[in-house]
Amino acid sequence: MDTIEQLVAEAKAAEASETYALRALASMDLTSLGLDDTEEKIADLCRKAVTPKGNVAAVCVYDKYVPQCRKALGGSGVRVATVCNFPHGGTDIAAAEAEAKAQVAAGAQEVDVVLPYRAYLGDDRETAVELVRKVKKACGSEARLKVILETGELRDPRVIRDASLDCIAVGADFIKTSTGKVAVGATLEAAAVMLRAIKGVQPGIDRPLGFKPSGGISTVKDAAGYLYLADAIMGEGWATPETFRFGVSSLLGNVLTTLGIDANTDDGSGY
């Protein structure tokens, strides 16, 4: 297999195309996690999730908006995700477990939990991983669990690999790069490490494993790099909405423009 450096160089050279734009659209977790979110903003997010070229995979919102999104998107196939232990990745296991239980009860179909990355870096990996285990238990069979590693803070590729494997071992369905709330979001280097971790353990895991880059992905060219990596490492055909998501708030407009749709025009199509 090529080295990570070679793969990343090739991924950076991937060009924007309609094919990559369509793949990005189908695998998008369209996200609004602002302190200024309102019911009106979330309603607009739900409208944008349904486009003339296909729907996004999910919307990701704070949990108080989950029922609104479930109602608005019913029948569309768009899933509703929320965030837990977000964004700081605290170490209160009981609080995170209770939060996730309430989110699932409210209708969340996916939960993106922040790994207590500071504890993980500070030689308290046991607490960090146990929080993920308990949140997975709270999700049960009702919701997919995505674990946010905050790779921009973990930094060391060996630590990113270890955190990926530890979270998968306690039930993560997806491993995700970033909250989007720290200085360094997704990077192709971290993505390559995480995808290789999935590749290495998937044969021994009896559930699909997924990957979600998030933080700083705003153009089809950005997305193309991550999709190229997934194809190169996992094999072409692996990266579907069941196994690959983009956590994004601003990518949709560039995707639609690439596909020849005026992102600023309300044509009654749902966008």
176 catalytic per annotation:
yes
Q: Among 52, 3, 19, which Cα is nearest to 270's?
A: 52
Q: Is the dihedral of CA 10, 15, 19, 21 positive or negative?
A: positive
Give residue 205's region: left, alpha or beta (phi > 0; psi -120 to 50). Answer: beta
User: Structure tokens of 221?
Assistant: 């060219």
134 catalytic per annotation:
no
Residue among 48, 101, 134, 176 flagged as catalytic:
176
Q: Could you give the residue ranges of the DSSP H alpha helices within 140-219?
A: 151-154, 157-169, 188-201
Backbone angles phi, psi at 83, to 5 degrees: -120, 145
222 catalytic per annotation:
no
In a 10 Å sphere around its CB, with 0-12 CB exposed, 13-18 middle and 19+ buried, how is residue 236 labelled?
exposed
Residue among 112, 166, 173, 222 flagged as catalytic:
112
Active site residues: 112, 176, 212
